[in-house]
Structure 1
Amino acid sequence: MTDAPAPPYPAHWEADVVLSDGGTATLRPIRPDDAELLLAFYDKVSDESKYYRFFAPYPRLSERDVYRFTHVDHRDRVALILTVGQEMIAVGRYDRVGPKDAEVAFLVQDAHQGRGAGSVLLEHLAQAARENGIERFRAEVLPDNVRMAHVFRQAGYQVAHDLEDGVLEFTLDIEPTATSLEVMAAREQRAEARSVERLLTPRSVAVIGASRSRDTIGQTLVRNLILGGFTGPVYAVNPAARAVAGVPAYPSVLDIPGEVDMAVVAVPADAVRDVVVECARKGVRGLLVVSSGFAETGPEGRERQRDLVRLTRAHGMRLLGPSALGVINTDPAVSLNASLARVVPPRGRVGFFCQSGELGTVILETVARRGLGLSTFVSAGNRADVSGNDLLQYWADDPATEVVLLYLESIGNPRKFSRIARRLAGEKPVVAVRSGRFTQGVPIGHTVARSAVPQAAVDAMFRQAGVLVVDTLDAMLDVAQVLAHQPLPAGPNIAIVGNSDALALLAADTAAEVGLPVVHHPTALRPDATPADFERVLREAVEDPAVHSVIAVYVSPVDVDGLPVAEVIARVAAASAKPVVATFLGSEGVPEPLRRLDESGVVIRGSVPSYPSPQAGVRALAKAAEYAEWRRRPRGDQPALEGIAEERARAMVDALLAEHPEGMDLEGELLYQFLRWYGITVVPAYPVRSLDEAVAAGRRLGWNVVLKATAPQLRQRPDLADVWRNIDSEAEMRTAWQTMTTTMGDPSTASFVVQRMVDAGVPTVIGGVEDRMFGPIVSFGLAGVTADLLGDLAYRIPPLTDVDVASMIREVRASPLLFGHRGGVHADVAALEDLLHRVGRLAYDLPEVVELELMPVIASPAGVSVLGARVRVTPVEPIVRTDWYARRLTRL
């Protein structure tokens, strides 16, 4: 064996992954120095597993085997390993056997079989293979190797298999498909949900850093666990104490006699690392770090936080925090209050995630004051590891959670958030408050990649995912009360019933403001209306088929008990399939007379939320109607587009970037050809620098042309002086040239072009950008200085369905101009939608296209004409968007 130059190590293949049982592992390419690690791994593999791998007894690896297995070229021969701590637990590899084919094989340590290691390795091997131009995997599996056969059959790829000579032969087409992506997303969801479950449903908890002194963080944590009624054992770790708050104390977590599911860490920041190492040796499954002194303190703390995450994940654990307030689970089977919260809300069906510990305390007190019950609460602090995305995965399958609330100060992985929030919102409502919406601020301690995406695009991402965004915590809880206690409205129409003309008018004004039509016009009862009066008009309202939701307004006359009216409102609401809310005596939350309780005393559906003002109640109903409408809306399909040549377009981009590694703008025929690979035809424009060149271009095109200035500072002028239309002769071109050069100045700076005329229509603009955080984003609007100044653009994140594209066009405020407004043209909107689909597909396929603009796109009754285009390509990091095809945790 001779030493050859080492191939470049593909560091972008490294990943932290969650296995199917919720534990974590590190995935990376094998290295030449992994020989001892490989031998130790192989010694722990059973003879049966070795036989399944090599089809023969293979008790040990020779020196030649070890060299061959650890020395790969990361192209034709690739090997990926999974490690936990300092131990290798699995290896997967492929060897190219043809230009587009490779043989693939796996070996998993017996103690770790059944944890989904093979599926994770297959996903990442397939991603590496696709980068290297491989399209198919082949594998031979003994019929008795049921687990490995299951991995291939359940991968979601196109699979063919045959039995030959007593061996199952599998062929996998590894091109991502809708099915394979769906399988991957389902596995990701289950695995990440289980990893969060370790933190929310532990069987035992150790508080490391517990103190005997009152009013300390450590003792507060122990006391809250005990007083909260945690159903498992609680251990205190304090080397200087024998007991803390009546709980036995141990010098180290290693000295605790029983198993420890979760460790709550409250020691100084510089001591946390040693604690993590001990927790790993003890077999702790999850960490909650309330200690501060990490990324929020500056560069040194930020590096300490990164090291904490790497260490925790490498040893198979998830981390909540640091600087976290803690977690709460009100399930009586758990009764977990592993937090510093002074107040714990009652049990309910709302899951709440926030980031700030300080704000978390206020949130819990506000929720408790309103009587809004919670199923679980998580304050993630710096959210260095576990984030809101992980909680969304958990709540998707949690039967105790029916409504999800998010108080977000930053989003670490918007692409993933969009994907999983959209899936969750299809089953359960998600309501979010986002701080820093307009300042784009990121809290100290949150490590987030910078994004240049406009705020309107971020808001569109939330709407596309079905997430209800509100501006304040109070508004979030207002909406949550409707969603948690009342049915969804079947439409937008609202009825107003009450004994106060003034409050009914306020409700009607607010309904008009938020777009809820008032039908069954406000029923104004007398101030001294009886309970029977209220019951009669309420029943009329809920029984009216034109009414979709009802707000009842009650102001008690002096010395009149409102309880009988409350009973009427509660009784009518309980029997109604329509949401009913109230402004009842100015109360907030769900007052006692309006509650319905289950056998364990939990407030359940049918209870009537009450708001201090009718405006708050109407706005909450509007958000419920918005969500219900999104739920009813078809998700749509991604249409099959003819004339797409993705491979040719990719080959062109790869070749261009090989010559221009700094990136480049596509121009001329190169630009036109690139867009044609996606079925996008641009009307050619011919640059001209003199009148003679302009005349020659007009003659070449057979006249009926335009002369226009394309310099960025001259485009879309309000006076339309940048374009001269309908030029049909040399004399007309001379007039146009003289006038425009007089207006525009030097022809060399005006960038004049001659272009053939197209059918009259509505000028539009279609754009696409690749953002480091959000990935591809497509925009649409009407071209023109007015729309540009007003920011009248619609945004979506590909892949785009037909419903996405149709709604995208119609939500632009100026869109009526495309549909014959005031006798104008009725554009071929179908052709416009097709063009948007093509741009969306291009942006989705090619992350190297960092900027794309089609402007103007003239939408006429006869179709669309693309008159101008701009495309910029630059190299992208290999890691960009790989999370769509292989599961991985975000590394920052």
Structure 2
Amino acid sequence: MTERLSGARAFALLTDGTQIEIRRLGAADEEAVRELHQGLREESLYLRFFGLNRAMAADVAARVCRADGGAHAALGAWLHGDLVGVAEYEPTGVPGEAEIAMAVADRMHHRGVGTLLLEHLGSLARAAGIVAFRADTLPANSAMLRVFADAGMGARRRTSGGVVEVTIPLASGDGYLDAVAERERQADVASLEPLLRPRAVAVIGASRRRGTVGAELLRNIIAGGFKGGVYAVNPHCAGPDLHGAPCVAALADLPEAPDLAVITVPAPSVPAVAAACGRFGIPALVVIGSGLTAEQGRGLLAACREYGMRLVGPNCLGVANTALGLDATFAARRPEPGTAGVAVQSGGVGIALIEELSRLGIGVSTFASVGDKYDVSANDLLMWWESDETTRLGVLHVESFGNPRKFARTARRVAAKMPLLTVLAGRSAPGTRAAASHTAAAATPELTRRALFAQAGIVATDDLGELVDAAALLATQPPPAGPRVAVLSNAGGAGVLAADACADAGLTVPVLSQATRRHLGRILPSGAAVANPVDTTAAVSADVFRDALGALAADDAVDAVLALVAPTALGDLRGALRGGRKPMAAVVLGQAETVVVNDDAVPCYAYPENAARSLAHAWTYARRRDVPREPPPTPPGLRQDEAARIIGGFLDGEPDGGWLPPGQVYRLLESYGLPVAPWRWARTADEAIAAARDLGVPVALKAHVTKVVHKTAAGALELGLTGEDAVRAAFGRLAERFGADLEGMLVQAMAERGVEVLCGAVQDEVFGAVVIFGAGGVDTDALADRAARLAPLTTRDADELIRAPRLSALLSGHPARPAGDVGRLRDSLLRLSRLAADHPEIAELDLNPTIVRPDGVVTVDARVRLVPRRRWDPYLRRLR
């Protein structure tokens, strides 16, 4: 699991794929820092210190490694135990500014050490409230100036007195994140070369006995025709021929260090074998076996980090690259060469996908069963496919996420190049969530995963069969330009079912143009129906059916065609199923397979529902792909410092966290401009009466009792109070009901009626801040009508969030109800999203109900739970 503490020990990749360790420097590192500076060439010393005094090294080391309570910070980059780079910052005295200094060993220049240190130091500084770095550099120090300029931070320079003064803003906007992502892609792809394009492979633990993993995996490599060297390692099987490969007793006996070692030994031996591979110079491992203890797992990963090896597994099926003939798996069927990249956690799912994609003729380009994901994950495979000219479709099976934010950003970029498909694994919670608010109860695994995939541009299916159906269409047909589908069939009833299936899938079946209808009327037999769906009758010939398909595809009102044929004794229409310039899905009634791809690259389904769902998935991909990327907006009028004071002040008094008192809740919401109903806080009946007089009547009284979560159910709510007597009486009833547990009451102006919605946010341990929107009021949990998106929201995210639940029809209005103010609702969601994203201490935020009216939006009840939490930079370059 990735370490989430800013500036803690991390491993990352240099430009050439080499792994280095980055960690904070302390007193124990002083000698290493001194040696680094003493070892610099004279030119480097001059450029770093504006002079040539090597005696400065000891003083520099003492300063860099000192402990001063946190104002100063220094990071070191380590390669195989040697310190190869140092970066530090010192506050300048200007609020929010720090001076940065850096030194990189001469032998490590131009490999990205300085850039990585700058990124990690910047992330550390941002968490400490620093907003800009400053550096004074000589004009001749072109290498360091290039590091600052190319970092993507928008560095500004000015020359004064022969020194270049560089100011580096630390805001991590899209430009910076794009630059980081491109550096990560290049480094990641370089590090995966030995794994996915090896020149030689060794199977360690290969067995002579058939039916064992070691034997079958070695046989698959040989049978696949791998173009590189293949070796087996097993002291009990040493000899010139083990299933067609030479076998040696130990790694030291190999004629070369292979790029890839596939380890099939028992779990207790795995850490030692991995370490031996590292010492021998092998850069990539695949560990097949499962059942490693926690200690064995730590030993395996430690060996990979010590020797800079990339790792797939453990507990996996293996890897394949069909362009090389490499099948380093123990699957029964060898993957056919093709265009689909496949990354799975489950070996069984991987076997099913290899089988189906090969059967359909789509084939596989690269395959990785990442198993327990100690290192290589779906993120790595996404970047590999992005750089691979063979892969045209990405298929993912992801059961868990190490860094969903980076996954979403990477997938969004890759999805602009190719369709990405996944199946929604782990939709049900294995246990119960300890949810104390409606919002937390709503944040189910399925809801958060759907949010992630939607924002990442990934097509998410509910099961493997649906995924294969969608893959058959997306791999063979162009994506549709819209949701409008023309249905053509030789069986009228089946055509109606296909039209219904399109509507159920969210597609439309439009009216055809007059010209198309006239043409169809001329070519089709009498009795044919030329509306949409089009019924050709069973008497139609293949040539005429093909002509009708062309006419439908040529209609400007049509984005895709669904052709349905029922076999009859009058003729076989399957030969007429040929694609054109618009996407086409076919249905062949009575077909044995759920989906096949015919010789004209048209996917043919057994049922219209499968075809319609696949077209809908293709349209989902197309519309998300074509949406221009937009940054999350920053709404005006945010008082972020005030919010930070409220949150920090509460946590200072409650170090373990808890529910924020009502008055502070509403002040927190108001600091981000969220619309809340006018309110006052009262501890006595007289204060409540004065508050009601101040607010105007009618008012509501809400008893604040720490253990009460849902006020209506607990009887902690009195509504529609008019006049002093009513307020006093209601106060008395609530005071009597809750006694000493009553901490005070919120007096709030009654809001006019409207559509009650839930707006909320939770901090998920894996996904980060998640915004929930749906049906509100006392029935919110029973209705379960809600959607989610990851924060911070873009404007488009907010609009999609509003449209997703069924209640969106109420917000659009109807004859009995005017439309709600969707613009202000959008603004509220954007502000809520920013509040949750800016403050990870907000564990649960529940605005329920929020009332949407034609003239505005107002929140009438709110709860916020805070917990102490350190900030984490999800986009920082580091390995898992």
TM-score (normalised: structure 2): 0.88
Equivalent AA in structure 2 for residue 245 of structure 1: H
Q: What are the residue-to-residue correspondences of 1:750-829 with 2, within 5 Å?
A: 753-829=746-822
CA–CA distance in structure 2, aligned partners of residues 323 and 566 of structure 1: 44
Cα displacement (A) at 1:437 = 1.1
Contact 1:482-1:581 at 8 Å conserved across structures:
no
Q: Does 1:380 align with 2:375?
A: no
Q: Distance in 1 between matches of 2:769 and 2:41?
A: 46
1:652-667 superposed matches below 5 A: 652-667=646-661
Change (3 A) 1:110 1:342: farther
Tell me whether 1:576 sits opposite 2:620 in the alignment.
no
Structure 1 residue 537 displacement after superposition? 1.9
Q: Does 1:670 align with 2:664?
A: yes
Instruction: Specify the alignment match of 1:889 in structure 2.
Output: 879
Change (3 A) 1:68 1:692: closer
Amino acid of the structure 2 residue aligned with 1:533: V
The letter of the residue matching 2:321 is N
Deviations 1:343-364 (A, max 9, x none): 1232221111111223322332
Distance in 1 separating the partners of 2:480 and 2:188: 33
Q: Give the CA deviation at 1:803.
A: 1.3
Provide the C-alpha distance between the structure 1 equivalents of 2:341 and 2:460, rounded to a whole number of angstroms: 16
Q: Which of 491, 497, 514 lines up with 1:500 in the alignment?
A: 491
- CA gap of 1:37–1:339, structure 2 versus 1, over 3 A, is farther
Report the alpha carbon displacement of residue 717 of structure 1 after superposing the two structures with TM. Answer: 6.8
Q: Distance in 1 between matches of 2:637 and 2:695?
A: 27
Cross-structure match for 2:351: 361
Could you tell me whether the CA contact under 8 Å between 1:499 and 1:525 is conserved in 2?
yes
My pick for the range that moved more, 433-442 or 277-286, is: 433-442
The CA deviation at 1:714 is: 6.2
Shift of 1:109: 3.0
- Tell me if 1:302 matches 2:298: no
* Counterpart check, 1:180 vs 2:172: no
Offset, 1:397: 2.7
SS in structure 1 of the partner of residue 215 of structure 2: helix
SS class of match (2:88):
strand
* C-alpha distance in structure 2 between counterparts of 1:91 and 1:676, whole Å: 44
Q: Is the CA contact 1:327–1:338 (under 8 Å) kept in the aligned structure 2?
A: yes
The 5 A counterparts of 1:37-76 are 37-38=32-33, 41=36, 46-57=41-52, 63-73=58-68, 75-76=70-71
**Superposed CA offset, 1:199-226 (max 9, x none):** 2112222222233444433333333222
Matched letter for residue 784 of structure 1: G
Question: Is 1:152–2:148 an aligned residue pair?
Answer: yes
In structure 2, relative to structure 1, the CA distance for the partners of 1:133 and 1:715 (3 Å cut) is closer
Q: Secondary structure at the match of 1:404?
A: strand
Q: Give the match for residue 200 of structure 2.
A: 204
Q: Which amino acid in 2 is paired with 1:473?
A: L
Q: How has the CA–CA distance of structure 1 residues 162 and 535 changed in structure 2, closer, same or farther, with 3 Å as cutoff?
A: same
- In 1, Cα distance between equivalents of 2:360 and 2:431: 30
1:371 aligns with 2:377: no
Shift of 1:875: 0.9
Q: How many Å separate the matches in 1 of 2:731 and 2:131?
A: 55
The match for 1:399 is 389
Q: Secondary structure at the match of 2:397?
A: strand
Report the counterpart of residue 475 of structure 1 in structure 2: 466
Tell me, in whole angstroms, the C-alpha distance in 2 between the residues paired with 1:401 and 1:346.
Answer: 13
Q: Does 1:491 align with 2:487?
A: no
1:26 corresponding residue in structure 2: 21
Query: Which runs of no fewer than 5 residues in structure 1 stay unpaired?
Result: 1-8, 295-300, 443-449, 597-606
Q: Is the 8 A contact 1:716 1:784 kept in 2?
A: no
Q: Following the alignment from structure 2 to structure 1, what is the Cα–Cα distance between the partners of residues 725 and 642? A: 44
* Residue aligned with 1:671, SS: helix
Q: Distance in 2 between matches of 1:339 and 1:770?
A: 39
* TM-score, length of structure 1 as denominator length: 0.87
For structure 2, list consecutive stretches of 5 or more residues without a partner in the other structure: 433-439, 511-530
Residue deviations 1:407-436 (CA, integer Å, cap 9, x gap) = 222223323322222232233221111333
Mark the CA change 1:35 to 1:634 in structure 2 (over 3 Å): closer, same or farther: closer
Q: Sort the Cα spacing of 1:451 and 1:289 in 2 relative to 1 into closer, same or farther, 3 A.
A: farther
Q: Deviations over 1:254-305 (max 9, x none)?
A: 44333422222222222222222232233322111113331xxxxxx12311
What does the per-residue CA deviation read over 1:685-706, in whole Å, with 9 as the maximum and x for residues that have no partner? 3456776554443334444434
**Paired residue for 1:422?**
412
The equivalences for 1:870-889 within 5 A come to: 870-876=863-869, 878=870, 880-884=871-875, 886-889=876-879
Residue in structure 1 matching 2:720, options 721, 725, 736: 725
Structure 1 residues 123-151: Cα deviation after superposition (integer angstroms, max 9, x where no partner):
11112223334332222334443332211
Distance 1:824 1:401, change over 3 A: same
Amino acid paired to 1:581 = A
Query: What's the offset of the Cα at 1:35?
Result: 4.4
Q: What is the aligned length?
A: 843
Greater CA drift, 504-513 or 798-807: 504-513
Cα RMSD for the two superposed structures:
3.3
Query: CA contact under 8 A between 1:761 and 1:825: conserved in structure 2?
Result: no
1:542 to 553, 557, 560: 553
The structural deviation recorded for 1:487 is: 0.8
What is the distance in 2 between the residues matched to 1:792 and 1:451?
A: 12
Match for 1:112 among 108, 112, 127?
A: 108
Aligned to 2:74: 79
**Which residue of 605, 609, 618 maps to 1:615?**
609
Of 431-440 and 120-129, more deviation after overlay is shown by: 431-440
User: What is the DSSP-based 3-state SS (H/G/I as helix, E as strand, rest coil) of the residue aligned with 2:874?
Assistant: helix
Amino acid corresponding to residue 245 of structure 2 in structure 1: V
Q: How do 1:123-162 and structure 2 match up within 5 A? A: 123-162=119-158
Shift in alpha-carbon separation, 1:737–1:13, aligned structure 2, 3 A: closer
Contact 2:703 / 2:734 at 8 angstroms: preserved in 1? Answer: no
Q: Distance in 2 between matches of 1:807 and 1:625?
A: 15
What corresponds to 1:245 in structure 2?
243
Distance 2:187 2:449 in 1: 28
Distance, in Å, in 1 between the alignment partners of 2:311 and 2:696 is: 70
For residues 162 and 734 of structure 2, the distance between their equivalents in structure 1, rounded to whole angstroms, comes to 82
Contact 1:343 1:364 in 2 (8 A): yes
The residue aligned with 2:274 is: 276
Shift of 1:153: 0.2
Task: Write the distance in 2 (CA, Å) between the matches of 1:40 and 1:265.
Answer: 39
Closer, same or farther in 2 for the Cα pair 1:358/1:52, shift >3 Å?
same
Q: Among 599, 606, 612, which residue is 1:595 paired with?
A: 599
- Alignment partner for residue 568 of structure 2, among 557, 560, 567? 557
* 8 Å Cα contact 1:194/1:394 also seen in 2: no
> What is the identity, as a one-letter code, of the residue corresponding to 1:413?
N
Give per-residue Cα distances to partners, 1:478-504, cap 9 Å, x unaligned: 100100100111222222223334543
Confirm or deny: 8 A CA contact 1:498 1:554 kept in the other structure: yes
Q: Distance in 2 between matches of 1:721 and 1:42?
A: 68
CA distance in 2: counterparts of 1:273 and 1:708, whole angstroms: 60
State the secondary structure of the residue aligned to 1:193.
Answer: helix
Report the CA distance between 1:856 and its aligned residue.
3.1
Residue 528 of structure 2 corresponds to none
Q: Secondary structure of the equivalent of 2:557?
A: coil
CA contact (8 A) 2:224 2:325 kept: yes
SS in 1 for 2:417: coil
